[in-house]
A and B are shown apart, each in its own frame.
Chain A
Amino acid sequence: MVDGFRPADLQEALEFRARHPSIPIAGGTDLMVQKARGFGLKPDFNKPLLFIGHLRKLRQISVRDGNIHIGAGVLLSELIINDKISEALKMAVRQMASPPSRNLATIGGNICNASPAGDTLPYLYAVDAKLILKSVSSERIIHIGKFITDPKQNTLEHDELLTEIIIPNKIFNVSYYKKVGQRKGMSLTKASFQGLADIKNSNVLDIRIAFGSVAPIIVRSREIEASIIGKPVSEINAAVPEILKKYATLIRPIDDARSSAAYRKRVSLRLLEDFLSKLS
């Protein structure tokens, strides 16, 4: 058994994936923490590591058919300075971890780690991001909401890698993001909120709402969004109590070492209310 493999290119990586049970490691900022065993001890990896952070093919950001394609190995620090990336996503990424960690951490790692506190996720859910999953012999494209199934669970096959994230070509003229952490930097999310809207002639043409860290997976409801779409902004105020009530049933946070369920729930609804109040 090998301890680790550093492929020359994506093809080699996928071939290795096909032949060996393996753990892909990009920046390792999740893995190395999760697998740490203590001072002076080797981390606890039960399968060989496949290093993918250096693969050129995974580190590109391009526009195809108007959609933005982000390589899974793109660093968080690269997202912040790339002009193809929307301000809304940059806003979330800027508040993640710390400058040194952002120079290691990748967007693909954040997605595959599938934590409800993953900070790129509310945005990616809100914009209906799609993922390209590749193996030596196949390629599939899947909505992010279908990929992440539970905390720490995704539908990645043992021979696949996440290679690209596709952000659909769509403009939102209102964006609202808030991360609530224990402090201003280097803090995991207690609760987060992503709101996006397309308002024209005082009408809601489109609206997207996603909550992070307040349920096993990111909370988004097309149904509730659909009930707001088409409304003139002047009618939103009156609809707020009803909208809050609907989301309240979906937001099911927990008590943990960092916050309380009661706070997480209240703050999520307050953020939603604040976002809605800014539409009119």
Chain B
Amino acid sequence: MNHTPLWASESFWKKVAIWVTAGSFVLLIVLTFDSMSKVQAGSRRVPAYSVINQKIDYRFDAQLNRYMPVIGGDEPLFDRPLSEAEAEALVTLGKKTTQAKNCINCHTILGNGAYYAPDLTKSWLDPNWIDAGNRENLMLAFLKNPPGNARTYGTGRRMPHLGITDEEARGVIAFLKWMSAIDTNGFPHNFKTLYAQEE
């Protein structure tokens, strides 16, 4: 009497394991190709780097029932319109600076990272900058000397000196502005931008 039912048979489960794993993996590869094609810079979801020449806002879309980036008219960064190549170079400098300075180990970026400091996903649009016209200058001054410009909201938490140069700070601002234009499927929810506050 050595009959093993199928559900208890080692060789049956071995086959199931192989097929399930292979099937899932193939599906993931297919989905990855599709996702990659939809998130290249310049796609509908992830705008081209030159979007930093334009006004960006983030509003509730009643039809989609979620918050969506709204790309508006001209509003070049530091009043200097950039070509696509120049914009990409500037955002690249900014992105590399965020990695070199380890921003993500205090902040979250697209909601991922550390929880010691605010999320940076829509920081370009934060009402904390008060006046859209003066925002770039405030950000520049802040990044170059964070403790000196700290506004800790009563927590006592300050951003440290990171030795960010003028050029790097401009890059970081460009990166943050570009990132705020990415369609993040409505995250963060209920976010009232600088412009919404001004109205």
Question: Is B a genuine binding partner of A?
Answer: no
* Interface of B toward A, CB cutoff 8 Å: none
* Interface of A toward B, CB cutoff 8 Å: none
